[in-house]
């Protein structure tokens, strides 16, 4: 790690890295040296314990009025396969997995469906909480929350407050992509929606609600865009310490408008995945301890490699996920036994958690 001696010293001293420092790590630094430093920092934070959550993803609707160029999942509402689940359908779907697989986190994400008001979500959350009391609701993207706010003519704070009263526990990091307005325009997002993401998260954190953070890479962004994205999250984390985890995930172009227009023809490969994991660990060192491996778009073996390069959370089991399969990439279901085995295979200790990152069980 000789070429990273200055970086190692800076991180150990608690210094905040600059944009140029991060760009150097993206464009010049040796990948294996980055990985070694990142794993050292991960060991210092949580040792050889690698967490995961028994999770189910509920894509309750695919109707969306945002129509991102990187999404193959959304429908306008007129197609034959457009859908919105009723409360009864949701409860029935959850019941297929809840007891059988010990599900403890429900990730609720769909589209920005213009026909749904806050009462839909309140009714849904209350029903889930009543029927499945041990299930933590990890729900709604910042885009969904912002739309509800506009539709109902109420503040984001009031929306979140009402959702929390109905059963919301934590908020996922979906919708972050890359914060830069010009990049967001190119990928079909409203230019200021990155700033909106940060604002919604800050509101949640100020209310004591914990959230996750993400970054989607491997599309039309630059190294500087990535660096600024990471530093924006770090700045907010220093203010409230409201982020529970960070996940960098590589864009899957299959079936998306970006692919059809020839702007992104293939997804970022394994080396880029590992580089983003390692850099995330280094940038957030001392401020955000949990870096998630994002195995979903990369497979179990890459999930293992991500741990060796600085990740310390596998993410969750997968049941009934529909967004990634819409790109043509089949991910199937992943049960906890596979995760436990995968973690043990690389000499680490699997630790099952809930959506608040509290330990439920250790598998020695």
Q: What is the dihedral of CA 223, 225, 227, 233, to 10 degrees?
A: -150
321, 331 Cβ separation under 8 angstroms: yes
Six token digits for residue 77: 């509402």
What are the φ and ψ backbone dihedral angles of 350, each rounded to 5 degrees?
A: -75, 135
Q: What is the dihedral of CA 217, 219, 224, 226, to 10 degrees?
A: -20
Q: What CA–CA distance (Å, rounded) separates 185 from 191?
A: 5
Q: How far is CA 323 from CA 52, 75, 332, 350, in A?
A: 21, 12, 12, 27
362, 350 Cβ separation under 8 angstroms: yes
171, 139 Cβ separation under 8 angstroms: yes
Q: 222: Cβ–Cβ under 8 A, 6 or more apart, which residues? A: none
Residue with tokens 């109707």: 63
Question: Mutual orientation of helices 223-240 and 270-283 as an angle, nearest 10°?
Answer: 40
For 22, the enclosing helix (H) or strand (E) is: helix 19-27
The binding site for [4Fe-4S] cluster consists of 64, 68, 71
150, 181 Cβ separation under 8 angstroms: no
The binding site for S-adenosyl-L-methionine consists of 70, 177
The binding site consists of 64, 68, 70-71, 141, 177, 294
For 88, the enclosing helix (H) or strand (E) is: helix 87-95
User: How many C-beta atoms lie closer than 10 Å to residue 34's C-beta?
Assistant: 25
Please classify residue 183 by burial: count the beta carbons closer than 10 Å to its beta carbon, then call 0-12 exposed, 13-18 middle and 19+ buried.
buried
Distance of CA 198 to the CA centre of its chain: 14
Q: What CA–CA distance (Å, rounded) separates 185 from 220?
A: 10
């Amino acid at each position: 790690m000789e070429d990273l001696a200055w970086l190692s010293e800076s991180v150990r001293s608690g210094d905040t890295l600059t944009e140029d420092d991060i760009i150097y790590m993206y464009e010049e630094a040796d990948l294996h040296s980055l990985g070694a430093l990142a794993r050292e920092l991960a060991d210092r934070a949580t040792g050889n314990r690698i967490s995961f959550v028994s999770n189910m993803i509920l894509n309750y609707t695919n109707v969306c009025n945002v129509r991102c160029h990187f999404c193959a999942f959304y429908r306008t509402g007129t197609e034959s396969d457009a859908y919105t689940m009723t409360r009864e359908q949701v409860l029935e779907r959850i019941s297929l997995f809840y007891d059988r697989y010990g599900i403890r986190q429900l990730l609720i994400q769909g589209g920005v469906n213009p026909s749904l008001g806050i009462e839909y979500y309140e009714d849904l959350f209350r029903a889930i909480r009543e029927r499945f009391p041990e299930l933590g609701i990890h729900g709604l993207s910042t885009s969904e929350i912002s739309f509800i706010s506009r539709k109902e003519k109420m503040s984001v704070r009031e929306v979140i407050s009402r959702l929390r009263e109905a059963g919301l526990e934590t908020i996922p990091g979906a919708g972050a992509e890359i914060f830069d307005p010009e990049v967001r325009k190119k990928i079909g997002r409203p230019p200021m929606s990155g700033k909106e993401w940060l604002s919604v998260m800050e509101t949640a954190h100020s209310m004591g609600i914990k959230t996750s953070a993400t970054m989607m890479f491997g599309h039309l962004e630059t190294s500087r865009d990535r660096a600024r994205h990471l530093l924006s999250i770090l700045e907010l984390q220093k203010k409230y310490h409201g982020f529970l985890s960070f996940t960098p995930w590589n864009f899957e172009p299959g079936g998306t408008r970006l692919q059809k227009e020839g702007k992104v023809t293939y997804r970022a490969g394994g080396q880029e995945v590992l580089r983003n994991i390692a850099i995330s660990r280094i940038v957030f060192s001392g401020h955000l301890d949990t870096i998630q491996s994002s195995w979903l778009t990369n497979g179990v073996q890459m999930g293992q490699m991500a741990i060796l390069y600085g990740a310390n959370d596998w993410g969750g089991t997968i049941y009934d996920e529909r967004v990634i399969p819409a790109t043509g990439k089949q991910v199937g279901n992943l049960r906890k036994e596979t995760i436990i085995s995968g973690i043990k295979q690389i000499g680490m200790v699997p630790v099952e958690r809930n959506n608040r990152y509290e330990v439920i069980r250790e598998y020695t």
